[in-house]
Amino acid sequence: MDLAPIVTFYRLIDAARPPERADRAALGSLPTRAFRYCDAVTTASGFGWYLSSPLDLDLLWDGTQIWWTCEGLTDWLPLGAAQFPHFAARFDAAAPERVKGWSPPFLTALQEPGMVQLWTGLAARTAPGWSLLVRPLANLPRHPALEPYEGLVETDRWFGPLFTNLRLTRTDIPVRLHAGEPLVQVQPIPQAAYAEAVLNRTAFVPDLEAFREEDWTGYYDTLVAPNHDPDRRPGRYAAEARRRRRGAGCPFAALAEAG
Same domain, residue pair 42 and 124 = yes
Same domain, residue pair 83 and 207 = no
**Residue after which a domain boundary falls, among 197, 212, 246:** 197
Say if 110 falls within a structural domain: yes
Say if 107 falls within a structural domain: yes
Q: What is the CATH number of the domain that holds 141?
A: 2.70.40.10
- Cα–Cα distance between 128 and 70 in angstroms, integer? 39
Same domain, residue pair 172 and 245 = no
Same domain, residue pair 167 and 188 = yes
* Neighbouring residues of 224: CB distance < 8 A, sequence distance ≥ 6: none
Inter-residue contact 165 to 115 (CB < 8 Å)? yes
For 24-75, the DSSP string reads TTTTTTS-HHHHHH-HHHHHHHTSSEEEEBSS-EEEEE-SS-EEEEETT-SS
Same domain, residue pair 122 and 187 = yes
Strands in 175-177's sheet, in edge-to-edge order, are 77-78, 66-70, 57-61, 175-177
Structural domain including 153 reads 7-197
Average pLDDT of the segment spanning 28-56: 91
Residue 185 forms beta bridges with which residues? 50, 135
**Residue after which a domain boundary falls, among 182, 197, 212:** 197
Say if 119 falls within a structural domain: yes
Average pLDDT of the segment spanning 146-166: 96
Closest among 36, 39, 56 to 47, alpha carbons compared: 39
**Residue after which a domain boundary falls, among 197, 215, 247:** 197
Say if 174 falls within a structural domain: yes
Decide if pLDDT at 163 tops 60: yes
User: Higher model confidence: residue 34 or residue 190?
Assistant: 190
Same domain, residue pair 173 and 248 = no
The pLDDT assigned to 222 comes to: 87
Same domain, residue pair 84 and 208 = no
- How much is the pTM? 0.86
Q: Which run of H or of E encompasses 13?
A: none
Say if 51 falls within a structural domain: yes
Say if 102 falls within a structural domain: yes
Same domain, residue pair 52 and 161 = yes
Q: How many domains does the chain have?
A: 2
Same domain, residue pair 58 and 131 = yes
Instruction: Give the other-Cβ count within 10 Å of 118's Cβ.
Output: 22
pLDDT mean across residues, the chain: 90
Same domain, residue pair 148 and 44 = yes
Say if 1 falls within a structural domain: no
* Strand ranges in the chain using DSSP code E only, listed in sequence order: 7-11, 20-21, 49-52, 57-61, 66-70, 77-78, 81-82, 107-109, 115-126, 130-135, 146-148, 151-153, 161-168, 175-177, 182-190
Q: Which run of H or of E encompasses 255?
A: helix 253-258
User: Higher model confidence: residue 89 or residue 180?
Assistant: 89
Inter-residue contact 249 to 243 (CB < 8 Å)? no
Same domain, residue pair 153 and 190 = yes
Model confidence pLDDT, tens digit, residues 91-134: 999 999 999 999 999 999 999 999 999 999 999 999 999 999 99
Same domain, residue pair 169 and 217 = no
User: Rg of the chain's alpha carbons, rounded to an integer?
Assistant: 23
The pLDDT assigned to 236 comes to: 63
Say if 2 falls within a structural domain: no
